[in-house]
Amino acid sequence: MTLVTILGGARSGKSTAAESSARGWGGAVVYVATAERGDDEMRARITLHRERRPPEWVTREEPMALGEAVESAAGDALVLIDCLSLWVANLVERGDEDNAILAAARNAARLAAQRKAPTIAVTNEVGLGVVPASPLGRRSRDLLGLVNQQWVVASGAAYLAVAGRLLPLHEFPDSVHVGDLHDV
């Protein structure tokens, strides 16, 4: 299982869970940070994330070229991507077309899944939140939902973070009938 995706809402514990798992890895860790320092709040969030990371972890700040960041990491290093949500937002803000974003996501997920060492991807679950008021917000939300599906499909394991706990996500069986759902 080389790719694990952790989804969750704001402050659900997804980054903390990913970092905790990475600390248990016996080798090098490459932390791919997709956030940009746009405003004071984001700068403060970035500072908090930096302070939690062990000093021996390599940090690669890469807000756009995620596939390249994954591909360039040493093959024996665990890669922790935090997060897909900001990466998608950065591409939308740059003006990338939906199909280009989805193709880049599919490629990056494929590269992550093919790595010898594990990759842990953190992302926001958008299906439980408020419907954004603006068309751009709805577009970003919808794109992230599709990107999340691509990453989870490519993953060996996926988890939903809720209140600091991880719930495993299971594939929906092909042959489930409505009356059988209580057994799923």
Residues in Cβ contact with 2 at an 8 Å cutoff, skipping those fewer than 6 apart:
112, 113, 114, 115, 116, 117, 118, 119, 156
Residue in 49, 170, 177, 182 annotated catalytic: 49
pTM for this prediction: 0.90
User: Structural domain tally of the chain?
Assistant: 1
Residues in Cβ contact with 57 at an 8 Å cutoff, skipping those fewer than 6 apart:
22, 28, 29, 30, 31
**Lateral strand order in the sheet of 3-8:** 58-61, 29-33, 78-82, 119-124, 3-8, 157-162, 165-168
177, part of any domain: no
Q: Is 177 a catalytic residue?
A: no
The pLDDT tens digits for 79-127 are 999 999 999 999 999 999 999 999 999 999 999 999 999 999 999 999 8
What DSSP designation does 64 have?
S
How far out from the chain centre does Cα 47 lie?
19
62, part of any domain: yes
Q: What is the CATH number of the domain that holds 159?
A: 3.40.50.300
181, part of any domain: no
The predicted pLDDT at position 45 comes to 83
State which residues form the domain around 94: 3-169
Residue ranges of the chain with per-residue pLDDT less than 50 = 184
25, part of any domain: yes
